Structure 1
Amino acid sequence: MTGDGGHDLTIVDACTRRGGGGSPTAVLIDHSALSDGARRAIVRRAGTSHAAFVDTGADTTPTVRFFTAYGELINCGHGTIAAQAVLLHRRRAGELRARQRTGGRTFDTTAIQRDDGIEVWFDQGTVDLQGGSAAGLDRILAALGIRPHDVPADDAPCVASPGTPRLLVPVTTLPTLLSMRPDLRRLAAECRRLGYLGCFVYTLSPTGDAATARMFAPAVGVGEDVVNANSAGCLAAHLFATGRPSTIEVEQGHTAGRPSSVYATAGATARGISARVGGMAVIRSRSNGTANG
């Protein structure tokens, strides 16, 4: 499809599950000097929660910036997956091993054409982990509608940051997770006060190598995210730090009717705990406006 001013805009379903679902994400190949206001307006008109603006320029390493209708994000995991899928598609290649520059960091990416879409992995980098503030935690849990006994005794909320902090909140059961109805206005105020992107609420499978999660980020204009790939990487880092299996598949999007999957793995490096994050992407509408068959 064509964006305002003839820009090359593509809609990608990022982090699909079994070929469906995923988070609709706009990707714009942006060679011009758009203002931030114009970028926010493009997100609104595209009808997606996020957009990735890819400046290929003359450099071999593209710079990718991410926006919601409310403003710019330092990074965006599913946006990275969508952007790299479009770059592979444009090259009409089977595989693309590249680098991406986002938020002052340059990192490795891999995109591979599969039968059911494009598989993308990226190096999330170091994830900083901190215990949650007791005072702030009580107010956040109340805004989420989570009672103290909903939090498992063998896990605890923590702050995780791959560049932007968010609160990871475990709950005991899947029904508890799926029945949550947060007070989004109150949650937005608490997240702004504490400097959090949002809250990633999850429950682990009995085997510990899978999780189901929901991401609430009303402070940046996203009441509930269909999928949040960076938070899945943060969860893998948290699991590694607490001695649990740190290669995990995270399901999201069920309450939005768009089942999604993110894959993440974490381990120790010289700089701290780092994670790799991956997911499948399906290009739903090509840049010439035709639907993918």
Structure 2
Amino acid sequence: MTGSNGNDVTIVDACTRRRKGGSPTAVLIDDSTLSDSSRRAIVRRAGTSHAAFVAADPKNTPTVRFFTAHGELTNCGHGTIAAQAFLLHRRRIRKHRVRQRTGGRTFDATAIQRDDGIEVWFDQGTVELQCPAAGLDSILAALGITSNDMAADDTPCVASPGTPRLLVPVRTLPTLLAMRPDLGRLAAGCRRLGYLGCFVYLLSPTRRAAAARMFAPAIGVGEDVVNANSTGCLAAHLFATHGLSGIDVEQGHTAGRPSSVFATATATADGISVRVGGMATVRSGRAVHRVSPMGFG
């Protein structure tokens, strides 16, 4: 129940694995009277790394905005999965297909109620790929690894579905799990090079699966429990380099929240197009104290 001075917030575990883990994401119906500073404050009060603010419209094309405690994001993959699971749960139906507006882009999203949660897929769009132009050694040093730690049969790549991030392949699972980046240096380096963050991954022998960690201190997220858009970027990279069409990426183990993201890639006239998916569990809603439009309170 919510009082007159509260915002109804639903916590959705996005990208769960076998009904467990996932990234806790706050989702709520947006209030047009809120300032962006108020939205950031709601994220802090909800105790999650991200929040999705959903503004519905009569044409079944919801506008979704994503915030961390530090600011607004152009897009958010696991936030989209959380938002669409929230909408399906709210509508009390078993399946929907909608168009979502986020960051100046409108794209298709589907949600289906399954026995083990809500399965969500969305069109990430085209992903641009390029080799790192400079600064790789400094980024690796900030991550706490060297070129000797990287996979011999893969190369770092800058991938962008709208916001660039660095994909870093490592050689062994112990290397991946033991990483303790210098977050201050990493944030400064990513800001200097224009990266959202670094997605460090280990491929399975078949390259059909991977384990990964996402570090994004430049946007106030030291380590993301799960990063769905970066999984889509990895799918695009593997399609370009190895002709692979899909991947399942495990994340969240170091946070104690095992998670999975799926992604498929195809060639289109515009470039490599990607779809991203994951399972989600909707928890019960709760009230978060409402802040004033100026961000005080």
TM-score by length of 1: 0.95
Secondary structure (helix, strand or coil) at the match of 1:242 reads helix
2:15–2:261 Cα contact (<8 Å) kept: yes
> Shift of the alpha carbon at 1:7?
2.7
User: What residue number does 1:176 align with?
Assistant: 175
> Shift of the alpha carbon at 1:257?
0.3
Q: Which moved more, 1:210-219 or 1:235-244?
A: 235-244
TM-score by length of 2: 0.94
Deviations, residues 114-153 of structure 1 (Å, cap 9, x unaligned): 11110000000000101012x3111101100111111122
Secondary structure (helix, strand or coil) at the match of 1:286 reads strand
2:43–2:67 Cα contact (<8 Å) kept: yes
> Shift of the alpha carbon at 1:89?
0.5
1:8–1:30 Cα contact (<8 Å) kept: no
User: What residue number does 1:69 align with?
Assistant: 69
> Shift of the alpha carbon at 1:59?
4.1
- Call closer, same or farther: CA 1:4–1:268 in 2, change over 3 Å: farther
1:3–1:9 Cα contact (<8 Å) kept: no
Q: Which amino acid aligns with 1:71?
A: G
Size of the aligned set, in residue pairs, is 288
> Shift of the alpha carbon at 1:267?
1.1
> Shift of the alpha carbon at 1:33?
3.0
Deviations, residues 59-111 of structure 1 (Å, cap 9, x unaligned): 42110000000000000000000000010011100101111000111000010
Does residue 1:237 correspond to 2:212, yes or no?
no
User: What residue number does 1:112 align with?
Assistant: 112
Does residue 1:94 correspond to 2:85, yes or no?
no
Secondary structure (helix, strand or coil) at the match of 2:187 reads helix
> Shift of the alpha carbon at 1:286?
3.1
1:61–1:101 Cα contact (<8 Å) kept: yes
1:2–1:9 Cα contact (<8 Å) kept: no
Q: How does 1:81-230 map to 2 (within 5 A)?
A: 81-133=81-133, 135-230=134-229
User: What residue number does 2:24 align with?
Assistant: 24
Higher RCO structure (Cα 8 Å, ≥6 apart): 2
Secondary structure (helix, strand or coil) at the match of 1:98 reads strand
Identity of aligned residues (%): 79
User: What residue number does 1:34 align with?
Assistant: 34
1:31–1:57 Cα contact (<8 Å) kept: no
- Call closer, same or farther: CA 1:57–1:4 in 2, change over 3 Å: farther
Q: Which amino acid aligns with 1:164?
A: T
**Stretches of structure 2 lacking an aligned partner (at least 5 in a row):** 289-297
Root mean square deviation of aligned Cα:
1.5
Q: Which amino acid aligns with 2:249?
A: V
1:31–1:56 Cα contact (<8 Å) kept: no
1:233–1:276 Cα contact (<8 Å) kept: yes
1:208–1:244 Cα contact (<8 Å) kept: no
2:7–2:287 Cα contact (<8 Å) kept: no
2:6–2:287 Cα contact (<8 Å) kept: no
**Stretches of structure 1 lacking an aligned partner (at least 5 in a row):** none
User: What residue number does 2:291 align with?
Assistant: none
User: What residue number does 1:10 align with?
Assistant: 10
Q: Which amino acid aligns with 1:280?
A: M
Q: Which moved more, 1:19-28 or 1:241-250?
A: 241-250
Does residue 1:261 correspond to 2:279, yes or no?
no
User: What residue number does 1:51 align with?
Assistant: 51
1:140–1:187 Cα contact (<8 Å) kept: yes
- Call closer, same or farther: CA 1:213–1:205 in 2, change over 3 Å: same
> Shift of the alpha carbon at 1:29?
0.8
Secondary structure (helix, strand or coil) at the match of 1:80 reads helix
User: What residue number does 2:292 align with?
Assistant: none
1:97–1:110 Cα contact (<8 Å) kept: yes
> Shift of the alpha carbon at 1:287?
5.6
Which contiguous aligned blocks of 4+ residues in structure 1 show a shift greater than 4 angstroms? 1-4
Q: How does 1:274-285 map to 2 (within 5 A)?
A: 274-285=273-284
Q: Which amino acid aligns with 1:85?
A: A
